[in-house]
Amino acid sequence: MRFVDEYRDPSAARALVAQITDSAGDDEFKFMEVCGGHTHTIYRHGIEHVLPPSVELVHGPGCPVCVIPMGRVDDAISLAKEPGVIFTSFGDMMRVPGSRGNLLKAKAEGADVRFVYSPLDALRIAIDHPERDVVFFAVGFETTAPSTALTLLQARARRVGNFSVFSNHVTIVPPIRAILESPDLRLDGFLGPGHVSTVIGQRPYRFVPDQYGKPLVTAGFEPLDILQAIAMLLVQIREGRRAVENQYSRVVREEGNPRALAILAEVFELRPYFEWRGLGFISQSALKLRREFESFDAEQRYRLPGLRVADPKACQCGEVLKGVIKPWECKVFGTACTPETPIGTCMVSSEGACAAYYNFGRMHREAAVTLGRRSVSSR
């Protein structure tokens, strides 16, 4: 596949791994990839077992599905069960557990829940079904928020009265800051999120080196992108520098996407605070619809339970998200908490740290390396 295979080239990977191994030397490094898309790439391509043991990757909070607290999922299910409502959602939100079941279960019990690939699809359903009320379950960082904003602008322009949005959009910088503020922090640097940065650019991350003295390299989503970004982090550290750098320059611009940012500002405003699963309440970390869009705001149109549901006690997602423990070190990992019966946030989406580790990485390093060496095609 063009534009994909060249970023998965094994010989280029070997050269980068050699550079990383050499640069890390006898020291140990822990880098956090902020974005769930990175976590997925790392496991899907088996990057962990290719890296030297001296470089460890910690999987951050950037999985938008994973960070939605149980209470919000309960609200979504309550919306889905409203008479006459067609509830639309991205596919991977369907299995996220609330306090009593998930959207798939609500669907099985009779709610009209449909999964869509974009908020525009949800708006299309509303236009096609004027007799029904269509609610879109908006989830995601600055990556997906512009498409929700654009959809709302279209809905307003076309005066679609039977469409509303249940906004759970969140912003990437506050959780990074929350992690940096954590007293048990043990990170040496960050792989910055790729897709989010196409929208917000590089400037918002400057506080990471400036205030906390950690390097951040914005990375793409192919295996070689990840390796190159790790190599760039190590170069900075070895040269005694701490800066924001951009490995994903083929996509990410320094200033981001000003038009997307303008649309975001037109439609959304910051909530005073928002609860993150596993991380707790973080101030100014989520987006709600501005008053001008009140008629499209599901939180205004419907009565929601709005109850806060505490994260299950056994769950150690907060510690996993901060890199304090590895997924397998959690007491319930893989036994009580599995992808089919997730307890915590990180096990929910395939991008979550625990789910990715469970689905793809659950193998002894030694076994992986042995099998890799005896590969079928290399004989």
Site for other proteins in 67-126 (CB under 8 A): 90-95, 104-105, 107-109, 115-117, 121
Tell me the three state secondary structure of residue 250: coil
| Pairwise CA distance, residues 180 & 317, whole Å | 16
CA distances, 123 to each of 15, 61, 132, 307 (Å) = 48, 29, 12, 28
Q: What residues numbered 29-48 form the site for other proteins, per CB under 8 A?
A: 36-37, 40, 43-48
The number of helices, as runs of H, and strands, as runs of E, in the chain is 15, 13
In the list 18, 307, 314, 367, the residue contacting other proteins (rule: CB under 8 A) is 367
Closer to other proteins at the Cβ: 120 or 309? 120
Phi, psi of 372 (to 5 degrees): -60, -40
Neighbour tally for 300: CB within 10 Å: 14
CB of 311 to other proteins, least distance (A): 20
In the list 159, 291, 313, 364, the residue contacting other proteins (rule: CB under 8 A) is 364
Closer to other proteins at the Cβ: 42 or 180? 42
Neighbour tally for 267: CB within 10 Å: 26
Q: What residues numbered 330-349 form the site for other proteins, per CB under 8 A?
A: 333-335, 338-341, 349
Closer to other proteins at the Cβ: 205 or 358? 358
Contacts of 332 (CB under 8 A, 6+ apart): 314, 315, 316, 343, 344
Outline where 81-222 has alpha helix (H).
103-108, 119-128, 145-157, 173-181, 194-200, 207-212
Closer to other proteins at the Cβ: 265 or 371? 371
Q: What residues numbered 237-276 form the site for other proteins, per CB under 8 A?
A: none
Q: What residues numbered 314-333 form the site for other proteins, per CB under 8 A?
A: 326, 328-329, 333
CB of 332 to other proteins, least distance (A): 11
CB of 243 to other proteins, least distance (A): 26
Tell whether residue 13 is a contact of other proteins (CB under 8 A): yes
Q: What share of the chain is helix, strand, coil (3-state, %, to 5)?
A: 45, 20, 40
Closer to other proteins at the Cβ: 312 or 339? 339
- Size of interface with other proteins, in residues (CB under 8 A): 74
CB of 317 to other proteins, least distance (A): 17
